[in-house]
Amino acid sequence: MTSSRWDDLASIGRLYLFYILISALVGVGIAFSLMLGEGRGIYVPGLLVGAVIGVTSCTVTFGLSLAVSRWLKKRREPTQAMSRVFFSFTFVTGSIMGFLLGEALAATIFPNVLVVAPGALRSWLSFIGIFSLVFGLLIYTYEGMRQRLRSSVERIKEQEFAERELELARSIQKRLLPPSELTEEGFSLAARNEAASHVAGDYFDVFRMSNGDLALVVADVAGKGIGASLIMASTKAMLPFIASESSVPEALSALNERLVRDLGPREFVALCFARFSAADRRIEIANAGLPDPYRVTPEGRVEALEVAGQRLPLGARKEVAYGSREWLLDPGDRLLMFSDGLAETPGPDGLPLGYEKLADLLPRTDETPADWLTMLFEKLRSETRGDLSDDWTAILLHVM
């Protein structure tokens, strides 16, 4: 017999002992009331007779209810109304049978104690039937409340456990991301990743290419939660190895081939990949389904850096030939790469913010990249509902 079976039996045993105690007290209480009502003195054998009848009635009723309820559950799950009717009928039947058996048992144990007066048996059975019906409905209601309370406690425990697991997953995910700020000769950058749920499907990455150029990546995995975060981690692990000896468009095409094999239906990764050479301030961009990066000049002019050609998200279709385009950045220029969550966040009217509005919100101040992104995110929160319906991820490159 398994441990769960023993646990079930132990629970039933504890419940049975609880009802035995209640039934014995009820029996004693009824015997006490009868003694007072009939003008007889209170004596212990009479009280014990009431306890015996109460315990016997409870035992028969409990056993009958347990047996028939298990038989019924094997055939179909009863509705609440059916359960109530069935339980009441079983309780009345079991109580009457238990009363008759308890009366016989009490008469054997206490032969000199009058249990039921001659001719009063029918009245007693009617009383027992009505009393047991009311008492049974009370027990049914109590059991229903107890089960609902237990289910609620279990759900709360499961929710707390799930939240702890998600917090751990988010902590691990954050450790997978590179440092959010970097400053070297000729440039500085900062990145932000704010998740709509505990774990994000978006990610950013910054790493060195084999020739020393800087690779900048912003990606958005379809979906949210643990599944999207696992795809994110896999994509992040593969791209640096693929990109080390490839051109920017070749790296995206090769990554797409791998993701097509690994991802399931309706799973894909929108990704923007940039290669920056600090020596000549040249940047090459390939885009697989993310918004066009914004170039913000020192004068405050905003330009969307659009890449022509196929821009399908990675993993959506085999053999996609991605293109790329190069730009020469001027000193003071800022390059913003971002996921679509920034522009598609609902405003107070419920409609997406939009890319034109996002461009208008871009700070035109000479702040550090970290402060610049902080200002942008604060403006976004003030212009939208504030709660994230999608992840917000952005990288800002400032050319010096």
Query: CA nearest 205: which of 272, 119, 295, 287?
Result: 272
Q: Is the dihedral of CA 99, 105, 109, 115 positive or negative?
A: positive
Who has greater pLDDT, 337 or 245?
337
> CA-to-CA distance for 16 and 22, rounded, in angstroms?
10
Average pLDDT over every residue of 233-241? 88
The pLDDT value given to residue 4: 43
pLDDT digit string, tens, across residues 92-117: 777 777 777 777 777 777 776 655 55
The pLDDT value given to residue 222: 80
Sorting pLDDT into bands at 50, 70 and 90, what band is 7? very low
Average pLDDT over every residue of 44-63? 77
pLDDT digit string, tens, across residues 177-225: 888 999 999 999 999 988 776 555 788 999 999 889 999 999 988 866 6
> CA-to-CA distance for 329 and 277, rounded, in angstroms?
10
How distant is the alpha carbon of residue 67 from its chain centre? Answer: 37
Average pLDDT over every residue of 63-73? 70
**DSSP letter for each residue of 46-88:** HHHHHHHHHHHHHHHHHHHHHHHHHHHHTT----HHHHHHHHH
Indicate the SS3 state at residue 341. Answer: coil
User: What residues contact 237, with CB distance under 8 A and at least 6 apart?
Assistant: none
- Structural domains present in the chain: 3-166 (no CATH), 181-399 (3.60.40.10)
Beta strands in 185-267 (DSSP E): 187-194, 202-208, 214-221
Beta-bridge partners for 397: 189, 335
The pLDDT value given to residue 345: 86
CB 169 within 8 A of CB 198: yes
pLDDT for residue 400 is more than 60: yes
The pLDDT value given to residue 37: 58
CB 239 within 8 A of CB 255: yes
Query: CA nearest 187: which of 324, 374, 330?
Result: 330
The pLDDT value given to residue 224: 62
pLDDT digit string, tens, across residues 277-317: 999 999 999 999 999 999 999 999 999 999 988 899 999 89
Tokens of 332: 């003071």
> CA-to-CA distance for 41 and 29, rounded, in angstroms?
14
pLDDT digit string, tens, across residues 156-173: 777 776 666 556 556 666
Sorting pLDDT into bands at 50, 70 and 90, what band is 88? low
Question: Any idea which residue has 């954050």 for tokens?
Answer: 174
Beta-bridge partners for 187: 184, 399
What is the greatest pairwise CA distance in the chain? Answer: 114
Tokens of 207: 């790493």
Sorting pLDDT into bands at 50, 70 and 90, what band is 3? very low
Beta strands in the chain (DSSP E): 181-184, 187-194, 202-208, 214-221, 269-277, 282-288, 294-296, 302-304, 325-328, 334-338, 392-399
Indicate the SS3 state at residue 5. Answer: helix
Question: Any idea which residue has 């995110």 for tokens?
Answer: 377
Output the average pLDDT for the chain: 80
The pLDDT value given to residue 13: 78
pLDDT digit string, tens, across residues 9-43: 777 777 778 877 877 887 777 777 766 655 555 56
- Which residue type, as a one-letter code, is found at position 171? S
pLDDT digit string, tens, across residues 310-369: 899 999 898 898 999 999 999 999 999 999 989 988 888 888 889 999 999 999 888 999
The pLDDT value given to residue 6: 39
CB 252 within 8 A of CB 258: no
Sorting pLDDT into bands at 50, 70 and 90, what band is 5? very low
> CA-to-CA distance for 112 and 107, rounded, in angstroms?
8
Over its C-alpha atoms, the chain yields an Rg (Å, rounded) of: 37
> CA-to-CA distance for 203 and 138, rounded, in angstroms?
57
pLDDT for residue 50 is more than 70: yes
The pLDDT value given to residue 1: 39
Sorting pLDDT into bands at 50, 70 and 90, what band is 250? very high
Q: What is the pTM of this model?
A: 0.62
pLDDT for residue 399 is more than 80: yes
Who has greater pLDDT, 267 or 97?
267
> CA-to-CA distance for 115 and 109, rounded, in angstroms?
11
The pLDDT value given to residue 148: 76
The pLDDT value given to residue 70: 72
